[in-house]
Every structure is written in structure tokens, then in C-alpha cells.
A and B are shown apart, each in its own frame.
Chain A
């Protein structure tokens, strides 16, 4: 028997984390129960169920191909950026970071501006007798949009992996005179291989559950994913039975993928070490790399440039004169702020508790479970669960919508917010816990003096990610959006649907500017705020 009491350090923090984890678990369990009971009580009235096999097959093929091409593109981008040094390289790397949070609808809008029927490509190719029609719609349009977003995301993570190669390995390789190919095979590949399964699993799930891109570029039932089929079953057919069956299949498939994927190394946060040792390739290869990089960057930047070029013209003034735009903007902004704040509070609670339980594997694992909500329960499924729950509770969806949007978007952003703040908080705890305990600092004093000044940038980054996630969401709003209750992506989607392309492009430009400026400014603002303290 111990000779004295065993002291629980910061019981308030541990209890807060446990309460948050429990609350999320209860919420998810309630949503799944509602989905399950509704699925059993409501027979399907449509034909969607019969197509489940086709939907799963198409989703898997599309996601598999998107993943393979995204990983390949990411490796190429990282390899080139690792070797090349040029003015603006940091800006390029920063731009790739935005790929994770860039609203999918913005990329869709950019691709349409270039490859759509009235796009730039047709404008140039038409007079040469080489019209492209509307080639961006359909299977390859979906793949293109996915690879642009996820190739940049994968590349951003792989750059950090290459930058983290110990300088001794670089020196050894250089002194051994390794050729470019051997250098890649021996040094780079071994650094990348460990992170590829984790990144691939994440990209696959993102593409498998892709909603906005498939909805707008799918071009018909042949290219539907489960997410889009759920949306259509609810909004177009009002066949809740079919929607629930599809949602359950979606959940099952995601669980089958996510369970083994959690054992793989997760994608790193976007804060990487910078290697100071530079070993460039021979001249001819450097030229080839520069040309390839320019082409790939053009593919990424061109749609964004097209969004700005098309959206910042006269169409912008027309949109700014619409009361619906201002109402949607206000809704988007306050929901973004609220969901970002909620996501941060949840992540801080979970991360602080985990930091105190460094040696307790099971409690740590339990506190980490809510983080996987996003990947196991995709946006439309989550939205459907809330939709049905609101109905069961007798709440009109319009009344429940604001709360649902805040909670669902916070949960969807949680893994990324947690990934940004948990590692530095846990590292701080591991390094200084004994000193902090022996000094007898209160939890608030610890936060105020020790953690807050060091966490400013990660917190700013986390808030920016959560805000931009919410700002660009189309999945959750898709089941709750109406003409009275609208966010900017919903307004934009409705504009597309009504062939008001100019309006949609102007909203896309506003979303792009808001997203990128938030992503750049908020982390800087918090960095400044925290450094002003001491």
C-alpha cells in the first residue's frame, strides 16, 4: 500500500477533458442511434438503395485514383521544392498550406472559369478550332479538382519530411557522391515512405467523402459519391430511409478505412523544421525541376487567379448590392467565429488533459477518440444525423440550423485544431511539469504565464483553420440551407444552380480572399498578442 496519498495533478483539467470526450461520444452515439432507428423504421421509397454497390464502387475508384495521383504529385512537388531555392519560395510553400482549408467550391469555381463552356481555355482554343466543350464536368473534372487540392496538401507535408532529414545523412550522401536518382532512392524515399500511408489514408477519406466537388462537377448520377447521394435522397427525393441506409454504408466504409489508418503515422501539422543544408541537383536537372514546378504551380494557382479575375469585376458590385449576400456573409462569419471558438475550446480541453496523462495509454486513447469524428462521420452524414435528431425532438430544422452548423463545423475542424495545439502543449507539459508543480502555480497562472505566450501561433493557426473550414462548408449547410438561412457557400451553390455564374464567381472570389487572408493574418495576430505579454 502506498505510504501517502497519490496526487492527481490538475484534476480540473483532466475532468474537463474527460467531460468533453464524453459529451462528444454521447452526441455521436445519439446521432448514430437516430440514424439506425430511422433506417429501420422508414422503408426507402426510391431506387438509391439498389445503387449502393455502384456508389461504393464509383466512390472507391474515384478516391483511389485521386489518392494515387495526389501522392505522386505531392512527392514531385516536395522533391522539387526541397532542391530549388528562389525568391518567393516561402510564399509558395505557404500557399500550398492553404490547400487543406481552401473551400472546395473556390477551386471548382476556378476550374469552371478556365475549363467551363465559356472559360478561358475555350476562349483561346476556340479560334484555333480546338474547342474543349465542358470537359471539366464528369469523372476527370472530379479527379482534377481533388488532385489540385490534395496534391498540394500532400506536397506540403512531404516538404517537411524532406526538410527533417538529418544533416549528417545529407553530408554523407554528398561525400559519397550519390547520383540524383540514388540520392532520392536512398535518402529521400526512406524519409517519405513512413508518412505516405498516413497521408494516403487521409487523402483517400477526404476524396471518398468529397461532397462539394462531386456535387458541382459530377455531371450526373454516374459519378455520384455516397455523400452526394445522401444529399439528393434528402433534398430532392425526401427519401429519408434511403438517405439513412446510404449514411450507414458510408459510416461502415469509413470505419473500415479509419481503424487501420489510425495505426499509421498521422499527417504532420504544417509547422516543419527548415533544413539549412542545401544540396542542389546538377544544372540540367535543376532546369527540369524549375520547369516542372512552374507547370504544377500554374495548375494550382491558375484556378485561384481565375477566381479573382472573374469574381473581382463588375459582378462583385452586383453581388454587394444584394441583401441576401450580406445576410449570408453575416451568417457565415458568426458561425465561423463561433465554431472556431468551440473547436479551440474542445481541442484545448482534450489536449490539456492528454498532456497530464502522458503515461496512461487508455485514458489518452479515449481522449483522442473525438478527434476522429471528422474522418469517420463525414459532413453530410453528421448533418443528416442532426437533421433527424431535430425532427425527433420536434424542432423545426430552421430553428436548429444555427446550433447544428456551429457544433458540426467545430467537430469537423477538431482533428486539425487538435493536431495544431496538442503537440506543443504536450511537449511543454513533458518538459516543465515538475518545475510547474514544485512552484505550485495555479492552473490559470500556468495558462496565463507559461502556456499562452508559447501557444499564440498554434492557437492562431488552429482558429484560422477552424474558421476557414466553417467558412467553406457546403456539406453541413446542404441539409439545412434555405433561401432565408444561407451561408456564402450555400448562396454560391444556389447561384451556380440558377445559372447565375457571375454571382457565384464573385462569391468565390470573396471566399478566397477571406480564406487566404484569415489563414495568413490570424496566426500573426495571435503571435503578436502573445508576445506582447512579457
Chain B
């Protein structure tokens, strides 16, 4: 269980304070909505360790992750863009998930690419991939890293529905299979409704539960 308990944060000099209380079970995707600047990215930065909260805790299976620096947190992130280093090949981008022994010819890299239905693309430069392929390569790296918390920061924006739909399905399947704890930020109501068991709206710096129905599939 990922537990965000009485987490408080405010930017220096800002009047708005953020308060978050949230729990996410293994195999669950929770949706977050809200206007720009409402605090969605702030919550992600707090979970990922890029920001330090004023008070409260974030724990995974009752163990606080706050003492861990970002690089050691059990977190993977899929951004809207810039998930890949465009000068590197798809294979090397995936291999970055192996830690510092980065070898694009590691069999696990090919396995991850195969699992994301990208066979034979290992040597292609990331700059030459389509938007959907780029997100799949990033997902292959996430699969290889296998961190239990997955932060999805509008990863389907900019993709057409036909491209995005199978990726959504793959993510939902992986979350269940691997027992990941996922949070999806999206402005698309239908996307959230399809993927998320529960949906929170962030308003006035607080997450308010708006939907508790739906399915991961």
C-alpha cells in the first residue's frame, strides 16, 4: 500500500499550501484531475523526491520513502514528453533502466522491447521514433526497472486515440500483473474513467475524492 499521510507542502514565499491524504493499493491506478497549477505536479515531485514536504509522510508498505533521495526511491515516472534521450538508440534508452551497467545488448533490454511490441527497434535512434513508439520505449524501461510506484504525468497527451489506447491497456495490465501503485494525471475524463479505480480532483491544494467506481480495464 502506498500511503500519503497528512503531507503538507508550500513553496517558499507562496500563500497557497498543499495538503495531501491518499492511499493507493498494489495493482491500483488512481486518477488525479485539476486545473493547471492546482498541485498535481507538486504531488508527483513530492513522491519522486524532487521536493521535500514541510510535514507528513509518504510510505510504501509502512516504510517511509522520504529519507531516500530521488534516484533511490521506488518510483518510475512517465512524462508527457522528454522521456527519452533523443541522441541515444531505443535500446540504450531502455538500458538506462539497468542502473549504471548500461549495455544495450543486454538480453533483458530486448525482452522489454519485445514485451512492448517493439522488436527490432533497439538500434533505432529515439529521435527517429514516432510519439507512440517513444512512449512504448519509455514503458519498456519502466518494465525493466520494475519500481513499485508508477507516476503517469499525462503520458498520452499528444497521441491520437488509436495509438494511445493499446498503451493504456498495456499500462493497466502491467500495473495489475506487477502489483504497481500507479497515479495517473490527466485532463481527459474518459481516459481517467477507463483506467482508474478512484479519481481525485485537486482543489484549493487538497485532493478530494470524486469517483470511486470504474475498472482498471
Question: Which residue numbers of A lie inside 8 Å of B, CB to CB?
Answer: 1-7, 9, 431-432, 434-435, 437-442, 444-445, 449-450, 453-454, 534
**Which of B52, B77, B92, B125 is in CB contact (< 8 Å) with A5?**
B52
Question: Which residue numbers of B lie inside 8 Å of A, CB to CB?
Answer: 7-8, 48-50, 52-57, 64, 66-67, 69-73, 75-77, 79, 82-83, 85, 87-89, 92, 96-97, 99-100, 102, 125, 145
* Nearest-Cβ distance from residue A457 to partner chain B, whole angstroms: 12
Can you spell out 11 A-B residue pairs with CB atoms less than 8 angstroms apart?
A: A1-B55, A3-B56, A434-B70, A437-B50, A438-B77, A439-B96, A439-B97, A440-B71, A449-B85, A449-B92, A534-B125
With the chains together, A450 CA to B100 CA distance in Å? Answer: 12
**Which of A1, A435, A439 is in CB contact (< 8 Å) with B54?**
A1
Report whether B82 and A431 are in contact in the complex, using a CB–CB cutoff of 8 Å: yes
Report whether B72 and A3 are in contact in the complex, using a CB–CB cutoff of 8 Å: no
CB closest residue in chain A, given B92: A534
With the chains together, A390 CA to B207 CA distance in Å? Answer: 67
* Nearest-Cβ distance from residue B1 to partner chain A, whole angstroms: 19
**Which of B48, B57, B75, B125 is in CB contact (< 8 Å) with A3?**
B57
Across-interface contacts of A1 in B (CB, < 8 A):
54-55
Across-interface contacts of B7 in A (CB, < 8 A):
3
Across-interface contacts of A9 in B (CB, < 8 A):
69-70
Give 13 A-B pairs besides A2-B52, A9-B69, A453-B87 with Cβ atoms closer than 8 angstroms: A1-B54, A3-B54, A4-B64, A5-B67, A434-B48, A435-B79, A437-B50, A438-B48, A441-B71, A442-B100, A444-B100, A449-B92, A450-B88
CB closest residue in chain A, given B84: A435
Across-interface contacts of B57 in A (CB, < 8 A):
3
Report whether A2 and B67 are in contact in the complex, using a CB–CB cutoff of 8 Å: no
* Nearest-Cβ distance from residue A268 to partner chain B, whole angstroms: 23
Across-interface contacts of A3 in B (CB, < 8 A):
7-8, 52-57, 66
Across-interface contacts of B88 in A (CB, < 8 A):
449-450, 453, 534
Given A440-B72, A450-B85, is A435 in contact with B77 using a C-beta cutoff of 8 Å?
A: yes
Given A434-B48, A442-B100, is A4 in contact with B75 using a C-beta cutoff of 8 Å?
A: no
Report whether B89 and A437 are in contact in the complex, using a CB–CB cutoff of 8 Å: no
CB closest residue in chain B, given A453: B87
With the chains together, A4 CA to B69 CA distance in Å? Answer: 10
With the chains together, A84 CA to B79 CA distance in Å? Answer: 44
Given A3-B52, A4-B53, is A438 in contact with B96 using a C-beta cutoff of 8 Å?
A: no
Chain A CB within 10 Å — which of B48, B83, B85, B125 has the most?
B85
Q: Across chains A and B, which 5 residue pairs bring their CB atoms closest together, nearest first?
A: A4-B66, A440-B71, A437-B70, A7-B69, A2-B52
With the chains together, A2 CA to B55 CA distance in Å? Answer: 6
With the chains together, A9 CA to B49 CA distance in Å? Answer: 11
